Structure 1
Amino acid sequence: MSLRDLRNNLGAAESVRPAVHADSVTGEIVDTRGFDSAMVLVQTGAIAGAGDFTPKLQHSDTTTGGDFTDVEAADLLGDFPVILTANGVTRVGYAGPKRYLRAVLTKNGGTSIAASASVVLGHPHQRPVA
């Protein structure tokens, strides 16, 4: 494998499916097992009716929905914007100790936003990554 080869050295998982979101959305759970690092990517498209959404990352030791808590700033590498803007990409690293992650987009007002959130997993225990 080439040193420049990311395809075989990174994992990726979808948390919030690409869609036009008119309400708050809690993403799917991403299991970080087998990886030593993670980063969330929030991608946005068009905003309709001044759609005002705030992103965040939650973590847990279990897959039980009620066990998830917001990741503290000390466990984030970078910052989420207070409000998502149109046609952008936000990337924030995760340095916390929990196994499970999920993205959350909270609607504060307005109509809607086209958005998605993925978790990129790095430093795999086994390579190549399937």
Structure 2
Amino acid sequence: MRDLSHNLGVVQALAPQVLSATDTSAAIDLIGFDSAAVVISTGAIVSSGNFTAKLQESDTTTSGDFSDVAAADLIGTLPTALAASSVYKQGYVGNRRYIRLVTTKNSGTSIAVGAVVVKGHAASRPVA
């Protein structure tokens, strides 16, 4: 059996919570890793809450420097609306140093949601 845990970095992008407004994660540094994926887990939706999620990228941590990741730099797609009690993943193959997750409230009241970014193909192993 091979050890996966020492080959991955895991960073919380969105602490599990009930969102009632748009949320933008902190910048997640990909230095030292050659791949990344976001994993989103949802729970209950209240009053037809309609939320979408997307990845943004930048070479700096300055909020205004982030832009949406081009489709060519993503593996898989996120749904047009997050569903209750579901898990989603999307890979990032771009070459920017930082990524972040934006969860946008489109309508309704709230959604329970959390997300992590899994960083892979570490340049230095084992990963702490």
1:87 is the counterpart of 2:85: yes
Instruction: Name the structure 2 match of 1:67.
Output: 65
Compute the TM-score of the two structures, normalised by the length of structure 2.
0.97
The CA RMSD over aligned residues, in Å, is 0.8
2: CA distance, partners of 1:98 / 1:117 = 20
Of 100, 117, 120 in structure 2, the residue corresponding to residue 119 of structure 1 is 117
How is 1:1-130 mapped onto 2 (pairs within 5 angstroms)?
Answer: 4-130=2-128
Letter of the aligned partner of 2:83 in structure 1? T
Q: Any gaps of 5 or more consecutive residues in structure 2?
A: none
Percent identical: 54
Q: List structure 1 runs of 4+ shifted beyond 6 angstroms.
A: none
Q: Which amino acid aligns with 1:79?
A: T
- Taking the aligned partners of 1:101 and 1:117, their CA distance within structure 2 comes to 13
Shift, 1:96, TM fit: 0.6
Q: Secondary structure at the match of 2:100?
A: strand
CA–CA distance in 1 between the matches of 2:110 and 2:34?
35
CA distance in 2, matches of 1:29, 1:107: 20
Give the unaligned 5+ runs of structure 1.
none
Is the 1:25–1:104 contact (alpha carbons within 8 Å) kept by the matching residues of 2?
yes
Deviations 1:88-129 (A, max 9, x none): 111000011101010010000000000012110000011110
Equivalent position amino acid for 1:51 in 2 = G
TM-score w.r.t. the length of structure 1 is 0.96
